[in-house]
Amino acid sequence: MSEQKMWGGRFSESGGRQAEKFTASIGFDRRLWRQDVAGSTAHARMLGKVGVLAPDEVATLLQGLEQVAAELEAGTFPFRLELEDIHLNIERRLTEIVGPVGGKLHTARSRNDQVALDMHLYVKGVEGELIEGVHALQAALRGQAQAALDARIIMPGFTHLQHAQPVPLALHWLAYWHMLERDAARLAQARERADCSPLGAAALAGTSFPVDPQAVARDLGLAGVYRNSMDAVSDRDFVLDLLSAGAILMVHLSRLGEELVLWSSREFGFIEIDDAYATGSSIMPQKKNPDVAELVRGKSGRVFGDLLTLLAVLKGLPLAYHSDMQEDKEACFDAVDTLMACLDAVTGMVATLRPRAERMRAALLRDWSGTTDLADALAKRGMPFREAHAVAGALVRVCGEREPERLSDDELRAISPELRREDLALLDPEGAVEARQLFRRVAEDLG
């Protein structure tokens, strides 16, 4: 005779067998075992404090949960598909270890608030890890920025992928630092919203047992509890917060990856990516491909998809809990795994890449990216800026590929009587950077 399910009182002996494989989540939610054991431990202690369980029963349950955790840590835990999820697997194994008292652990608790608690603990924990990963990448960017500032490396700044104005390389690195600073802030805000316990809501309407949800929250290091029991079991906004912040973070990692791909190409040659973060070609011996940067760029789509998955799951659900919400886990786990891997890869890649200052300097020659400063100088002398803009543009047209210093005085006057030969010095990239005090501003940003 087959064993009846732990929720099988309502069903015949064969009830639910057809759905067993389809509904089981143990294949992916087993990674929540630490959170599940922690939540059960706190719940058992609380039941003892409020007098629902006797002290000896609590001690037996805690001892059994310690053995369950040891088996899970050692990889010897006997997972069983027919027990559907990590919650029932742990409870059944606990009962095998401690006997019938194991069945008392689920008193005043539903899998609805249990799984929500597990996810709160998981999301809060991984958001802290992701923030650390973001800070590590920021440190690598600051290191590159400081080295570039010390060497006073100047590069073309771009708009529309066209040379725009000369900028310090350090300014470019720090732009990404500031993007990541916002990412860290978003993750921190999401972590605050995940810092809440739903336990005590039971299935959706609370429980008649004299539970103390605040005590459970304090035991688990959570800041508070849900005020509404239906919201507690149906809320997955905190997971959406993580996925949303993660998607924006991946946008920034992808943009950085795109620039590293461009900059490492022969056409740019602005950087050399360390061999540890590049691969070769199976047919072309000369190739050095920026595969890590490309994959980071590509993997952004996975995290975007994970966010869209959960948005689609939740958008049509009435209150309170539905099995649809089981789909939050794989999307969340995939996004977290992808984010962790990408942060680690990009951090190593940024920390070890080598800028090629001479190629950046060469790219600035006769690129006219200092022309804005010439227009500004004419405007400062009283010429309307639109006219100054036209004069500077005419200078570029007349010069073509010639160096502006080779223009005769007559040619300068033909462009505009207001042009002076000393104005041509403003076209120098170093002068343009100094005019905006960009090195000083970068130094202040670096602290």
Q: What is the pLDDT of residues 240-296, one digit of tens each?
A: 999 999 999 999 999 999 999 999 999 999 999 999 999 988 888 888 999 999 999
Q: Cα(82)–Cα(88) distance, rounded to whole angstroms?
A: 9
Paired residues of 196 in beta bridges = 224
Same-domain check for residues 353 and 380: no
Look up the CATH number of the domain holding residue 206: 1.20.200.10
pLDDT digits (tens, 9 = 90+) for 81-119: 999 999 999 999 999 999 999 999 999 999 999 999 999
Looking at the fold, whether 355 and 380 belong to one and the same domain comes out as no
Shared domain for 143 and 269, answered yes or no, is: yes
Query: Distance of CA 252 to CAs 134, 180, 182, 267, Å?
Result: 11, 8, 10, 23
Token duo for residue 258? 């795109």
Q: Does the structure show a pLDDT above 90 at 23?
A: no
The CA-CA-CA angle for residues 429, 433, 434, to 5°, reads: 115
Q: Is the distance from CB of 101 to CB of 72 less than 8 angstroms?
A: no
Number of Cβ atoms within 10 Å of the Cβ of 405: 10
- Asked, for residue 420, whether it belongs to a domain, the answer is yes
Total tally of structural domains belonging to the chain: 3
Contact 423, 392 (CB under 8 A): no
**Enzyme catalytic residues:** 160, 281
Q: Same structural domain for residues 277 and 380?
A: no
pLDDT for the residue 15: 52
pLDDT band for position 122 (cuts 50, 70, 90): very high
- 99 and 132 belong to one structural domain: no
Residue scoring higher pLDDT (277 or 404):
277
pTM of the model: 0.92
Q: How confident is the model at residue 1 (pLDDT cuts 50, 70, 90)?
A: very low
> What would the mean pLDDT of 360-381 be, rounded to a whole number?
89
Q: What is the mean pLDDT of residues 5-22?
A: 63
**Burial of 2 per CB tally in 10 Å (0-12, 13-18, 19+):** exposed
Q: Is the pLDDT of residue 353 over 60?
A: yes
Residues 175, 312 share a domain = yes
Tell me which of 320, 346, 361 is where a domain ends.
361
Burial 364-383 (b: 16+ CB within 10 A, else e): beebbbbbbbbbbbbbeeeb
Among 107, 129, 149, the domain-final residue is 107
Stretch among 106-110, 205-209, 412-416 having the lowest mean pLDDT: 412-416
| 4 in a structural domain | no
Same domain for 116 and 91 = no
**What pLDDT does 156 receive?**
96
Structural domain boundaries enclosing 102: 19-107
* 423 confidence band (pLDDT: 50, 70, 90): confident
Half-sphere exposure of 43 (CA within 13 A, CB side): 29
Quick one: 278 and 414 in the same domain? no
State CA 10 to chain mean position distance.
Answer: 44
Say if 280 falls within a structural domain: yes
Q: What does the pLDDT average to over 68-84? A: 96
Give the C-alpha separation, 98 to 92, whole Å.
Answer: 10
More confident call, 427 vs 13: 427
Task: Tell me the average pLDDT of the chain.
Answer: 94
Instruction: Give the integer Cα–Cα distance in Å for 227 and 434.
Output: 57
Residue 210 and residue 350 share a domain:
yes
What is the percentage of the chain residues whose pLDDT exceeds 90? 82
Are 127 and 98 within one domain? Answer: no
In this predicted structure, what is the pLDDT of residue 368? 85
48 within a domain of the structure (yes/no): yes
Q: How far is it, in rounded angstroms, from Cα 283 to Cα 285?
A: 6
